[in-house]
Structure 1
């Protein structure tokens, strides 16, 4: 999810995406952070060959298959949406809504690797900016002029207007058009303009998803070739000069594994809860990502699964023999066991928040626990990065 506003540091200790969570946790009360003061000595070291094998597994068995899955499911969504032009069936809208949910999963499971093509081609904001500009979307529905919104370039300026193109397309515009109160709309809710706009939005999503996949596999729309090659055989392209820098990219605190752990706690959970607790109840609900579909908590847990997949080197919860997890088991088995446990603790804590999130922003105990678990996961991933990438 790409947001377009300044995000305050959470009072309970969730740190900002551009900072080290382990450093911030020393300043904030996030006790009992299990990683605070971690000092168990290493029992081994990671060789460059081991790191290269782990990065290759990560690229070939996690990143590329995730984007292939997303491409296939966005293609299926596009097919389902195209059918609405000639449909009179509520079932067809329900099928399109189901296809949206299915396409959403691999996207959310890719948010631990929003660097590379997702960043260089501004595909994260193009696909997933939040909050969307509901007023702008409604105006477009009245005018029928959605060409600029769907085809326009991302405006990533700090002072970008609310109706910048990225806020008028992507997953959440499609969600707004397909869902109401967690359910698929009826075919009678969708007039010709809504269907036309929806088709254009999903068509753009298809193009963006193809760029994500082919940016990694072929270097499509990139200047220095396939991003997979830069990660697996670093030679200075895309500012990756050695295999430790590839590992650092995987775990980085901006748009890598640590970054999404922080974003889930500080932004996706934290923003709406902050508004709610300040007395802005309506603003709190409106700040919940994916609240039209009630998919929010699934989004957040899938984000943590994206971290697990990146760390394990697999998509099914098994630990690949060539993976960061397997290397850490040799380098520092205590830390590895703690990180593995923390990944699951974070997923469990998010799932403990009552569903749907939009209706339970006042579930203080569960919310604070989920946010703290995200902080702890940030801390553990920062320690792993320091040991494997020397940062």
Structure 2
């Protein structure tokens, strides 16, 4: 996550896309109102099945996977601390990449406990406090600012130009242990009740009188807005900042050269939410299926835009950090940025009004 903690993500930069409009464009009807009247569309877009698929097929298994990856990273760093060989260093770096990839697929549902209870900030604040990180080893990790822990603090030490020192290796284990704790805590908050109800049950209770989501559409708005925010952040900040300034070190995972993988996994996470599952194919009751049934033109447009964005992201030459300045790289990055912005724009202008 760019900047700090769980800040509200900014809108798309107007220098590369048309201004966003919150009114629906005509797709056989004149606007939002006629989408429900003249077109005869009276069914609710979001159903209990939509929400349950989102929670049980996407959110919870994704967070469980992140926690498993964090545990594997912690174990790899413990092994490297005990036996600091080149092979163990590379194994730890690969474990970081795996855990990172899994986390980046969760960016489009960084609401609920991830936001309100600070898990997102503790796991993925960027940029980090590089100077503070150097002196933070003696400070209990629980007392640190988010900018001195999490994925990017580990990245800074693990992928440094020089091999980690003994002190660095000890510090890495401390950071990884906290990362595992945060990731497991996020899983627990979604699955288990304590002094508060499990967030899974909060979402699944949408539409009931005492729910935090008084209507199904309220939950649907949360889901669709998460997609909009994540993809607009990818386009305007994660890609847009470095592209505009031509400063590769503004890419979020610059140190590890993992930025392109971050971006591709952001796309994958959004695609999973749209289809209501993490495996191939579309799930019954998913946002994609509901749109196909009720608003097939919008669904067809989104399917094509998602496919175009994927093709553009996978066409960027690797690593993006060293290819940004090349003519081919710059064109490829701009093409991907525009394609991702188009998906976000359609979700915001044409889908979000259907659930608000």
Normalized against structure 1, the TM-score is what? 0.80
- Correspondence 1:175 to 2:155: yes
Report the more deviating stretch, 44-53 or 226-235. Answer: 44-53
Aligned CA distance change for structure 1 residues 50 and 170 (closer, same or farther; 3 Å): closer
Matches within 5 A, 1:166-315: 166-180=146-160, 189-219=163-193, 224-234=196-206, 235=208, 239-252=212-225, 256-276=226-246, 284-315=247-278
Q: Give the CA deviation at 1:351.
A: 2.2
Q: Deviations over 1:300-341 (max 9, x none)?
A: 111111111001011123100121111111111111011111
Aligned CA distance change for structure 1 residues 360 and 250 (closer, same or farther; 3 Å): same
Report the more deviating stretch, 326-335 or 362-371. Answer: 362-371
Matches within 5 A, 1:302-381: 302-362=265-325, 363-381=329-347
- Correspondence 1:151 to 2:162: no
Q: Deviations over 1:63-95 (max 9, x none)?
A: 001011111111111111111221032111111
Gaps of 5+ in 2: 30-34
Q: Give the CA deviation at 1:56.
A: 0.4
Counterpart in the other structure of 1:279: none
Aligned CA distance change for structure 1 residues 10 and 372 (closer, same or farther; 3 Å): same
Pairwise CA RMSD of aligned residues?
Answer: 2.5
Counterpart Cα distance in 2 of 1:9 and 1:319: 28
Equivalent position SS for 1:3: coil
Aligned CA distance change for structure 1 residues 54 and 368 (closer, same or farther; 3 Å): same
Counterpart in the other structure of 1:30: none
Q: Does the 8 A contact of 2:132 with 2:148 survive in 1?
A: yes
Counterpart in the other structure of 1:23: 21
Counterpart in the other structure of 2:52: 56
Counterpart in the other structure of 1:108: 104
Q: Does the 8 A contact of 2:12 with 2:232 survive in 1?
A: no
- Correspondence 1:126 to 2:116: no
Equivalent position SS for 2:20: helix
Gaps of 5+ in 1: 16-20, 27-35, 154-164, 277-283
Normalized against structure 2, the TM-score is what? 0.88
Equivalent position SS for 2:47: helix
Q: Give the CA deviation at 1:344.
A: 1.7
Q: Give the CA deviation at 1:37.
A: 3.5
Counterpart in the other structure of 1:3: 3
2:27 aligns with one of 35, 39, 54? 39
- Correspondence 1:79 to 2:75: yes
Counterpart Cα distance in 1 of 2:249 and 2:303: 34
- What count of residue pairs does the alignment treat as equivalent? 340
Counterpart in the other structure of 1:31: none
Equivalent position SS for 2:134: helix
Equivalent position SS for 1:102: helix
Q: Give the CA deviation at 1:22.
A: 3.4
